[in-house]
Amino acid sequence: MSVFADSAFPKNGTAQEKAEYQKFTDNIIDETTKSYNKDGPRVPNWSLDMQITIDRIKCISKLSMPHGHQFTEDNFDALEAEKILLRFRQSESDISNKGGEYRKRFWSINDPSILVSPDSVFKPLVDEDLKSISDSNPRQLFSEVVASQAIIDSWEKKGTDVDSVLGIKPLREDEVIMVFYHGGGFYLECPGTNRTAALEISIETGNRVFCKMISSIFFI
């Protein structure tokens, strides 16, 4: 969640703007720390760092999100919500300082030989794919490939470069990979926030992790 907490930082701002942002952040930390020490955590299992992060997110979201539009159950519009949340949804989550790396990968389903339906119920979907291939517009898949630094270093010593280690092709015939299906980070701000969890899986298991986002109502 720290990515979200820093999303309003004026990276391209003046020195004064950056100093004002830092002062604003310091005030939040100071007030939250006083409250935590005096009254304890608002939620029993929250640490001080957790409470500071939540308070920063609440304040930063007020600065970052457009004002003047309030959603209710009656007027909710997914496309309008998408516009409002776009800044957060496009924020990046850097894992380079956490012991690993990732790459975004796209590939097309353009080989008819793999489109064999195991059951007649899937035939309409197969037919759609075959038509897309014949129209030179094959369906495209997407994944983020995450690997621990230990995995990357091990393969680089064998002569495999980092981009190949973080590619979609098997590194060896009997390689085991982990597929991490997630919901797109809608409760964590952006899809990239799942990279840290994927990296932890990679470090723990010694395997590469392919992150796959399941469908959602937002198309960002």
One domain, residues 56 and 139: no
Measured in whole angstroms, how far is the alpha carbon of residue 187 from the centre of its chain? 11
One domain, residues 56 and 105: no
Task: Specify if 20 maps to a domain.
Answer: yes
Count of domains observed in the chain: 2
Stated pTM of the model = 0.61
Task: Specify if 218 maps to a domain.
Answer: no
One domain, residues 106 and 202: yes
Q: Report, as an integer, the average pLDDT of 108-118.
A: 86
Task: Say whether 39 sits in a helix, a strand or coil.
Answer: helix
Task: Specify if 153 maps to a domain.
Answer: yes
Taking a C-beta distance cutoff of 8 angstroms, is the pair 181, 197 a contact?
A: no
Q: Which of 12-16, 31-35, 170-174 is least confident?
A: 12-16
In the predicted structure, residue 106 carries a pLDDT above the cut 80: yes
Task: Specify if 78 maps to a domain.
Answer: no
Domain that holds residue 7: 2-64
Task: Specify if 201 maps to a domain.
Answer: yes
Task: Specify if 169 maps to a domain.
Answer: yes
The pLDDT assigned to 22 comes to: 82
Task: Specify if 189 maps to a domain.
Answer: yes
The pLDDT assigned to 216 comes to: 43
